[in-house]
Amino acid sequence: MNILGIETSCDETAVAVVGDDRDQPAIRANMVQSQLAEHAPYGGIVPEIAARAHLDHLDRLIAAVLDEAGLGFADLDGVAAAAGPGLVGGLIVGTTAAKGIAWAAKKPFAAVNHLEAHALTARLSDAVAFPYLLLLVSGGHTQLLVCTGVGRYRQLGTTLDDAAGEAFDKSAKLLDLPYPGGPAIAERARRGNPRRFPLPRPLQGRDGCDLSFSGLKTAVRERVAALAPNDDQAVADLAASIELAICDHLVDRTARAVRWFRAHYPEGRVLVAAGGVAANAQLRVRLAGLAADAGIAFVAPPPALCTDNGAMIAWAGLERLRLGLADSLDAKVYPRWPLDPTAFAPKMPR
């Protein structure tokens, strides 16, 4: 199978072709057009600018990807696009293009959940078998899930307020560092002392696997307000303290999920981290140590497959289409689309 995948859920315009050669995944072409320059002046993503940028870039990327893969529309076995969750304008751009191609080429269409694409990426990069425990950690989502099959997910915990990536982005903005905040803070943290500024570790020792980042952001704002002007070392030290606090919190809550997972799914042998924040080097090292202590493997896709990309959409589409899970061309887009629809929204413990 050869599947064209289109990702336009946020601020990356991404297109890829992924195939399976003798059941082995093969990324035939994978291109991402960043919108950093468009959004950087605003310190965050502007939905209308994102949608217009997708319109500007998408046709060119589709043509370039097919050319690199050496394929035409007739050679495809299906077309997949992110249909949510995400920014509605961008989702409409990508899904409309994918539906048009599928209709014209008479190919099946897969409306992919962007979160499921992240969840399944470890099967593209490392052929991870079900079931596995997933820390899905990105700019808009932070969740702990058990993945038992395509379309089958059980949520163990989610953020009570903000996502880890949002905590990185807003902390970076407070420090006057560039967007996106995760890489900017990690780069500055290399020269900093992570113990200089004590910051809170939310929900430390609390039951369950839920997470929270709003209190950490408040503490960062208070620390920034007290910094002396033009103190570059203080900025580096605070960046290192922020990165350590976020990683500590993620590892603490993931450790609780690992214990639950090992007790209820003894056949499960892998902890997976996916999403943009999973590209953070410190977090990868910490999670690898956690997994080793629990006697299971740790897998994180290559950084280029952690951030939003077309290959993960194409792969999720391939996984769904080979199970016969095609969607109609009137499939909707969803700004919110939970992987576990039975999970209730958590409440902050008193």
Weakest-pLDDT range from 8-17, 51-60, 148-157, 198-207: 198-207
Give, in degrees to the nearest 5, the angle at Cα 330 between 328 and 333: 105
Between 347 and 222, name the one with better pLDDT: 222
Q: How far apart are CA 274 and CA 278, in angstroms?
A: 5
Task: Write the CA distances from 11 to 91, 336, 339, integer angstroms.
Answer: 11, 17, 21
Whether pLDDT at 345 is above 90? no
Q: What is the dihedral of CA 183, 188, 189, 195, to 10 degrees?
A: -140
Q: How far apart are CA 101 and CA 62, in angstroms?
A: 10
Q: How far apart are CA 286 and CA 253, in angstroms?
A: 12
- Report the pLDDT value the prediction gives residue 347, as an integer from 0 to 100: 56
Provide the whole-model pTM: 0.95
Give the model's confidence band at 173: pLDDT under 50 very low, under 70 low, under 90 confident, else very high. very high
Q: Which of 3, 146, 82 is nearest to 309 (CA)?
A: 82
- Report the pLDDT value the prediction gives residue 230, as an integer from 0 to 100: 87
**Can you tell me whether residue 154 is helix, strand or coil?**
strand
- The DSSP output letter for 179 is S
Domains 2-120+305-321 and 130-304 share a fold: yes
The conformational region for residue 151 under phi > 0 = left, psi -120 to 50 = alpha, else beta, is left
Neighbours of 128 (CB within 10 A): 21
- Going from N- to C-terminal start, the domains of the chain cover 2-120+305-321, 130-304
DSSP secondary structure string, 189-255? HTTS-TTSS----TTTT-SSS-B--HHHHHHHHHHHHTSPTT-HHHHHHHHHHHHHHHHHHHHHHHH
Q: What are phi and psi of 16, to 5 degrees?
A: -155, 160
- Report the pLDDT value the prediction gives residue 350, as an integer from 0 to 100: 41
Q: What is the pLDDT of residues 296-327, one digit of tens each?
A: 999 999 999 999 999 999 999 999 999 999 99
Contact at 8 Å (CB) between 329 and 99?
yes
**Helix and strand totals (H; E) in the chain:** 11, 10
Bond before 198 cis per omega within 30 degrees: no
Average pLDDT for residues 171-196, to the nearest whole number?
95
Q: What is the pLDDT of residues 113-134, one digit of tens each?
A: 999 999 999 999 999 999 999 9
Q: What is the pLDDT of residues 232-261, one digit of tens each?
A: 999 999 999 999 999 999 999 999 999 999
Q: Which CATH architecture has domain 130-304?
A: 2-Layer Sandwich (3.30)
Contact at 8 Å (CB) between 123 and 319?
yes
Q: The domain 2-120+305-321: what is its CATH number?
A: 3.30.420.40
DSSP lists the bridge partners of residue 212 as: none
Contact at 8 Å (CB) between 159 and 168?
no
- Report the pLDDT value the prediction gives residue 22, as an integer from 0 to 100: 77
Share of the chain above pLDDT 70, in %: 98
User: Greatest CA separation found in the chain?
Assistant: 63
Whether pLDDT at 159 is above 50? yes
The conformational region for residue 324 under phi > 0 = left, psi -120 to 50 = alpha, else beta, is left
- The DSSP output letter for 327 is B
Share of the chain above pLDDT 90, in %: 88
